[in-house]
Amino acid sequence: MIAFTVALGASLATAMLNVMLDVGDKVNRELKTYGANINVIPKEASLLDDLYGVSEGHGVSDRHLRESELGRLKTIFWAFNIVDFTPYLNAEARMSGLDADVRLVGTWFSHREALPTGETLDTGMRNMKSWWSIEGDWLSDGDADAAMVGALLAERAGLSVGDAVALESAGARRELTIKGIFEAGSAEDERVYVPLSVAQEMTGRPGLVSSVEVSALTTPDNELSRRAAQNPKSLSVKEWETWYCTAYVSAICYQIEEVLTDAVAKPIRQVAESEGTILKKTKLLMLLITILSLAGAALGISNLVTAGVMERSREIGLLKALGAGNAPVSWLILMEILITGAVGGAAGYFAGLGFAQIIGRTVFDAAINIKPMVIPLVAILVFLVILTGCVPSIRLLLSLRPAEVLHGR
């Protein structure tokens, strides 16, 4: 029973600690699938945006970012926190069968980018917009004669997968086959997507992009990061260094601006902030569950051990009568429980790994990375829990008088 209680406590602790230590990444990745958290646009476009509240998305600006520079995103200080990024080239186009212009967007779908570091990164819309529901297929970057159309636009134009459609932009005309119709649940549902190279060719803007969406893992904002976001120059050198070397979204934006020519990076606020809060709360919850499960185990153990000592009071009294001191008898009981506890703890640890994976699968839809540091942590916790659990019974044991238990009055 003691072994079982310890096993239960240890398994919960193991599961929670593993999940907790891994959950930062998991929750972030989970939230990331609901969109990018940083938007990068050219400097002047951003100025217009700020002055007139006109997003670059509403007009087609003649300011651009360079596609060839995008690999540099993975060279910033927090390169590892940049999970995905996708460029967009926007244009207005006339579509056969419709009076009004439609928004044509060139992008990466599943692009393999060769990084300046010599590595490669697989990124693109497919990763960034994993929640889009697609009828038909995602485009691939080599599909020069195909397009993806938003569900609302498709309905308006009476299009379905497999249909051909003619698009005309900046004087260039193209016949494209509709390979997929997507439902994003947002403004994108009114747009036509083609591979970036196709859009660049059609609009005569080779090597240029209008904006880049970046998905980055970030640290929750605090007072320092908020001040920095308003004006990085207001920080002292020391503060600036701390800020720069922490994965605040503002620091990452700053570093992005450092590597891209004439670019402005802005956090997409709501998403970035909720990520931090949710992460904090989730971790707190896990910590609470860990503490509660261990406290529960300690209580359980103390009941079981006390009952055990009471049951064996005759035996313990006898040992004392034979001349065993308090210390040896306490050790005897403690050792027995520690050995049982160690067995239970080991079993619990492995059960906990299982739990962690189940939690990972059901909650985060991903495997939980097993952290070796959980082993000593759980071992110490189990040890402390057992010791705590033994306190009442050792006290009982010390107060046990052989004369009273042995003559069974």
Partner 1 sequence: MYLLDLQGVSKIYGSVKALYGIDLTVEKGEWLAIMGPSGSGKTTMMNIIGCMDKPSEGKVLLGGVDISAESARSLTAVRREKIGLIFQQFHLINYLTALENVMVAQYYHSMPDEKEALQALDRVGLSDRAKHLPAQLSGGEQQRVCIARALINYPMLVLADEPTGNLDEANEGIVIDIFRKLHDEGITIIVVTHDPEVAEEAQRTVILEHGRIARIVENRK
Diameter over CA atoms, the chain: 109
| Rounded Cα gap, residues 86 and 204, in angstroms | 20
| Residue span binding partner 1 (CB under 8 A) among the ranges 227-235, 237-245, 314-322, 381-389 | 314-322
| Residue span binding partner 1 (CB under 8 A) among the ranges 259-267, 325-333, 335-343, 365-373 | 325-333
Least distance from C-beta 344 to partner 1, angstroms? 21
Q: Is 401 in the site for partner 1 (CB under 8 A)?
A: yes
Task: Pick one of 112, 328, 373, 380: the residue that binds partner 1 (CB under 8 A).
Answer: 328
User: Is the Cα dihedral 147, 153, 157, 158 positive or negative?
Assistant: positive
Complex with partner 1: residue 142 or 323, whichever CB lies closer: 323
Complex with partner 1: residue 171 or 323, whichever CB lies closer: 323
Complex with partner 1: residue 115 or 318, whichever CB lies closer: 318
Task: Pick one of 171, 206, 322, 372: the residue that binds partner 1 (CB under 8 A).
Answer: 322
| Rounded Cα gap, residues 141 and 106, in angstroms | 10
| Rounded Cα gap, residues 17 and 283, in angstroms | 9
Select from 150, 103, 112, 128 the least CA-distant residue to 39.
128
Contact 378, 17 (CB under 8 A): yes
Task: Pick one of 163, 314, 357, 375: the residue that binds partner 1 (CB under 8 A).
Answer: 314
One-letter identity of residue 324: A
Could you list the beta-strand ranges (E) of 35-117: 38-42, 65-66, 82-95, 102-107, 111-114
Least distance from C-beta 407 to partner 1, angstroms? 5
| Residue span binding partner 1 (CB under 8 A) among the ranges 227-235, 259-267, 323-331, 340-348 | 323-331
Complex with partner 1: residue 50 or 336, whichever CB lies closer: 336
Contact 42, 326 (CB under 8 A): no
In whole angstroms, how far apart are CA 326 and each of 310, 330, 385?
16, 6, 22
Q: Is 336 in the site for partner 1 (CB under 8 A)?
A: no
Complex with partner 1: residue 185 or 328, whichever CB lies closer: 328
Q: Is 318 in the site for partner 1 (CB under 8 A)?
A: yes
Residues binding partner 1 (CB under 8 A): 314-315, 318-326, 328, 401-403, 406-408
